[in-house]
Amino acid sequence: MTTRIPLHRGKALHMLGALLGLSAALGACTPQTTEIVTASVSDDYRHRHPIAVTEANRSIVVFVGHARGGLSGSQRTDVMGLAQTWVREGTGAVIADVPIDTPNARAAAASFREIQSVLMASGVPSRAITLRHYRPDDPRTLPTIRLSYPKITAVAGPCGLWPQDLGPNIDNVAYNENRSYHNFGCATQRNLAAMIDNPADLEQPRPESPAYTPRRNIAFEKYRKGISTTTIYPEADKAKLSDTGK
């Protein structure tokens, strides 16, 4: 005996099955992505303006008059200082940009020869000194000798970027949510990077320096002999202004 399903009930079951199949198909096509939470984005100025380690030039300028060839005392000191820092931190040759076809060209050539001798006397080998000639673009300015060399340095920035208004604004997310503005902390990071002497300190600690053994050996010898290891300063009492409390 066959049981017949009413026509309207059969149509309802057919529609329900079609809807279930369609929902299953759409569910399979939906990509499984990680939910992004806005609060998880860092608002730390150290992440917004990070300090980067890169290679940049260190340079000095030597002014040369048209009637004097050679260096003054202060200029010679500047060149010696550049040579000493090159020995410690230089990563390339010292480049000397010397002007030509100018009123002070002859004096600049004589000054470069003295600069070269000062650099070599301060520890810079001759093969590490490169001469480059240039013609100034502006004839009104005094042509100078520029000495430069590449070094590893720490940098941050650029600063002074204001992508959003600081005041109350319906579109200003930083103001409405009490966040720090975009340029906040940039100057601090830039100044900190400029004060770092060795950029490697940002990545790794320095090795320990050797112990001062002479003073330690004296203390150990006194301890071995049973003598007090306290240091006695004979001149200490001469600095006292009063004997109150004795």
Could you read off the pLDDT tens digit of each residue along the chain, which spans 246 residues?
555 545 556 666 667 666 666 666 655 555 555 544 444 446 788 888 999 999 999 999 999 998 888 899 999 999 999 999 999 999 999 999 999 999 999 999 999 999 999 999 999 999 999 999 999 988 888 899 999 999 999 999 899 888 877 777 777 666 667 778 888 999 999 999 999 988 989 888 888 888 888 888 988 998 999 988 887 777 766 766 666 666
The predicted pLDDT at position 36 comes to 45
- Same domain, residue pair 148 and 168: no
- Same domain, residue pair 61 and 113: yes
Closest C-alpha to 60, from 72, 78, 84 = 78
Residue 13 resides in a domain: no
Q: Which residue has the tokens 């099955």?
A: 17
- CA dist., res. 174 & res. 236, Å (int): 61
- Same domain, residue pair 63 and 90: yes
The predicted pLDDT at position 126 comes to 94
Q: Helix and strand tally (H, E) in the chain?
A: 7, 4
**What are the CA-CA distances from residue 167 to residues 79, 170, 197 (Å)?**
50, 10, 38
For residues 146 and 99, is the Cβ–Cβ distance under 8 A? no
Q: Is 120 helix (H, G, I), strand (E, B) or coil?
A: helix
- CA dist., res. 77 & res. 118, Å (int): 9
Q: Do β-strands 94-99 and 52-63 pair in parallel, antiparallel, or remain unpaired?
A: unpaired
- CA dist., res. 59 & res. 92, Å (int): 13
Tally of domains within the chain:
2
Answering whether pTM is above 0.75, one says no
Residue 241 resides in a domain: no
Residue 190 resides in a domain: yes
For residues 51 and 202, is the Cβ–Cβ distance under 8 A? yes
- Same domain, residue pair 108 and 136: yes
Q: List, in sequence order, the alpha helices (H) in the chain.
A: 7-29, 45-48, 73-89, 105-121, 173-176, 186-195, 213-225
Residue 180 resides in a domain: yes
- Same domain, residue pair 68 and 137: yes
The predicted pLDDT at position 125 comes to 95
CB neighbour list of residue 42: distance below 8 Å, 6 or more residues apart: 48
The predicted pLDDT at position 163 comes to 81
Residue 31 resides in a domain: no
Examine the fold and report which residue of 152, 175, 206 is the final residue of a domain before the chain moves on.
152
Residue 122 resides in a domain: yes
Domain hosting residue 167, numbered range? 45-49+157-195
- Same domain, residue pair 129 and 187: no
- Same domain, residue pair 125 and 191: no
Residue 11 resides in a domain: no
